[in-house]
Structure formats: C-alpha cells, structure tokens
Amino acid sequence: MHASGFDRTRPLLLLVMAAAALGGFALGHPGIVSTQNLDSMAVFGIEIGMIALGQTLVICGGDTGIDLSVGAIAGLAQVILGRLLHLDLAWPVAIGMTLLAGLVLGGINAVAISWFRIPPIIATLATLFGYQGLALVLTGGINIDLTHESPLFLAIGQGHVLGLPLQLVALYLPLLAAFAFLQHGTRFGRALYLAGTNDRAADLAGLRASRIRAATYVLCGLVSTIAGIVGAARLGTARPDAAGEANLISIAIVVLGGTGIFGGTGSVIGTALATVVIGIVDYGLSYNDFNPIYQAGVIGVILIGVILVENPFVAWRDSRRTNGA
C-alpha cells in the first residue's frame, strides 16, 4: 500500500464506468463519439474538475475538512474579473489581480478554520453566504458582459491547442500534474496524509497539521478562482451565481474518486478519473436533451450507488484479510 492508502479498486471501477457510460451513449447515438463531442465533453468537465482538485486536498487533510465556498469563490472571482476588465485594465493585469483576490478568499477560510478553529463546514458555509453576497453586491445581480474583451482573454475558455481545448492543455492538465506531484511527491503531501490520519500525532511529529490544512484552503480558493476565470472566458460573461452547485458536485466528485470523507486517504488522480465519468454522463445527458438538473440527479445516484456497491465488497475483503493474518 502506498503512504496515501490509495486503493486500486476505485480507479478501475471508475474507468469501467467511464467506458460503460460512453459505450451506453454511443449505442443510442453513435455520433456522440466524435472529436467535436469529446471536445465539448472536456470543456464541460474542466471547471468543476479544477475545483475538485482543490477540494481533494481539503478533504484529504482531515479534521472534518470540507470547503462549501468553492462555487461562491468561483462566482465572486468572475465578478471581480469582470469589474476589473470594465475598468479598462489590461486583461493579464486583471487576471493577476483576480488570482490575488482568490488567494485572499481562500486565506479567509484558512484563517477562520486554522486560527479561530471554527469547524470547516460552518466557516465555509458562512463565507459561502458572504462571497455570494459580495458577488451580487458587485454586480447588482446583473451579469457582466465580456464578449467584447480581448480575443486573447476569451481564448482561455474558447481556444484550442493541437485540436484540444486550450484550458485542458494549458490549465487543467498542468494543474492536475502539479497537484498530483504536490500530493504524492512532496513532503507537503506526505504531511497532509499524516495530518489527515491523526491530527495530534502529526503535530507531535513536528508536522504542523493546522498550517498544512490552512494551505489546502488557500490552494482550493486559488483553483476555484482559476475555474471562475475559465468559465467567464468560455461564456464571455461574468455571472455572480456562475458555479452555484459547485460545492456539492465537487464534493461528490472527490468522494466518487475514492477520497474518504474522514481524511488521510485518496488522490487527485482518482478525482480526475471521477471528473471524466461525470463529464461523460453530463454531456451524454445534455446531448440527449435532458435538462441539466438531471445531471446533478444522476451524479447523486452514481455517488450513492458506488458506495452502496463498494461497502459490502470492502467489508468482505477486509474480513478475508483479517482471517488470513
């Protein structure tokens, strides 16, 4: 077993599910497996996929870690970006400032949780209200039109590289690689797993558990901000409620990807695979003209279904292991 306690069953299960979902849709509509559709599938999943990367680290850090404010951060980031662009700032400057703002928003969560010791679910519930409210205040509840901004900026959400979506190649995959390295290859990642497994033991081993966790909230705020920026560029508009359901869906993806809700286990790799499954299901449903709300419903079914199927299996396997010992 790897130090992460990363289980191989779940990634396999996810791959099978992805193949089955794609196959299933292809049976009904053979046309779905076209380059253009796969492209749209990727674009669909990327923003929530980025947020899920940050959510993975937060949940992995344990101590009831969870970030409910991710969607609100993405929305507020879009709005901040939109306002800055409308101030006629150059778009790279505006993005730079928005990223800084994202760090601050994540930092507020980190301070509330690590310094003031507010339970994460409450702290991020409060900042969810706060950030959502600020986004509405900044826009007056009206979407900010960005379609006339620099084409270079819009390319962040609409461009292509080597026939693949730009945000996939230039943002998501590098972020995934960076997070995977951070989680599995660095001292920080090792400390994160240990802190998530036993908070006090980590402190007494000199690992500074609460600082490590604080960093995960800041990172989570940052990727949520990036997701918000990509979304704004993709649709050419900044909406305060852009990622309203992102908190629940990102948590669902993380858990589906094999990260235990109690911390100390899991991997962003599993999260990425789960994102693929969700992306295919999402797109397949909308391709078949289902209302977007069905996507959330199907995610719910998959989430509960996977755990219900897996629980007895894991219990059976563990009992065999104990008997063998």
Partner 1 sequence: MSERVATVIKPVLASRRRLPAGREVLLLATLAVLVGLISLGSHGAFWSRVNLDNLFVGSAITVIPAIGMTVVILTGGIDVSTGSVLGLTAAIGGTCFAAGWSLAATVPIFLASGAVLGLINALLIINGRIPPVIATLGTLSIYRMLVFIVLGSNWITAIPPALTTIFVVDHLLFLPVVAVIALVFLIGAALFLRHFRWGRHVYALGNNEEAARLAGIRPERIKLAAYVMLGLLTGFAALLTLGQSPMVQTSTGSGFVLQVIAAVVLGGTALSGGRGTMLGTLLGTLVVQVVDDGIVLLRIQPFWGGVALGAVILAAIGLSAHHEIRGA
Partner 2 sequence: MSRVELAGIAKRFGGVVALAGVDLAIAPGETHALLGENGAGKSTLIRVLTGAIVPDDGEIRVDGGVRRFAHPKDARAAGIAAVYQEPMIYPHLSVLENIFAGNEITLRGGMIRKAAMAERVRPWFARLDLSDDLLDRPMGRLSLGYQQLVLIAKALTQEARVIIFDEPTSILSQSETDRLFAIIRRLREDGRAIVYITHRLDEIGKIADRVTVLTDGRVTGAARADELDETKLLALMAGKASRNYGKPRPDRKPATETPPAFEIKGLCRGNLYRDVDWSVPAGRVTGVYGLVGSGRSEVALAAFGALPPDRGEIRLNGARIAPRDPAEAIARGIGYLPEDRKSQGIFATKPLEANLTASALFRFVHAASRLDFGGLRGEAARLIGRYRIKARDETIAIGTLSGGNQQKALFARWAGQSMKLLILDEPTRGIDIGTKDEIHDFIRELAASGLPVVVISSDLPEVLAVSDRVIVMRRGRVVTVAEGDAMHAEAILAAAVGTHARAA
Binding track over 64-103 against partner 1, x by CB under 8 A: x-x-------------------------------------
Among 7, 47, 63, 67, binds partner 1 (CB under 8 A): 63
Residue closest to 260 by CA, chosen among 2, 107, 79, 56: 56
Q: Does 140 bind partner 2 (CB under 8 A)?
A: no
User: Restricting to residues 178-217, which ones interact with partner 2 according to CB under 8 A?
Assistant: 181, 185-191, 193-194, 197-198, 200-208
Residue closest to 153 by CA, chosen among 78, 52, 243, 75: 78
CA distance 124 to 109: 6
Residue closest to 211 by CA, chosen among 72, 39, 61, 60: 61
| Among 48-56, 96-104, 135-143, 268-276, the segment contacting partner 1 (CB under 8 A) | 135-143
CA distance 317 to 94: 53
Tokens standing for 103? 């760090």
Q: Does 134 bind partner 1 (CB under 8 A)?
A: yes
Query: Measured from the CB of residue 149, what is the shortest distance to partner 1 in angstroms?
Result: 24
CA distance 297 to 170: 31
The answer to whether 223 and 77 have CB atoms below 8 angstroms apart is no
CA distance 60 to 260: 7
Place of tokens 């992995």: 60
Among 110, 191, 194, 252, binds partner 1 (CB under 8 A): 252
Q: Does 200 bind partner 1 (CB under 8 A)?
A: yes
| Among 82-90, 227-235, 277-285, 315-323, the segment contacting partner 2 (CB under 8 A) | 315-323
Among 3, 177, 203, 318, binds partner 1 (CB under 8 A): 203
Tokens standing for 276? 């693929």
The residues of the shown chain that bind partner 1, judged by CB under 8 A, are: 63-64, 66, 112, 116-119, 121-123, 125-137, 140-141, 199-200, 203, 210, 248, 251-252, 255, 261-262, 291, 293-294, 296-301, 303-304, 307-308, 311
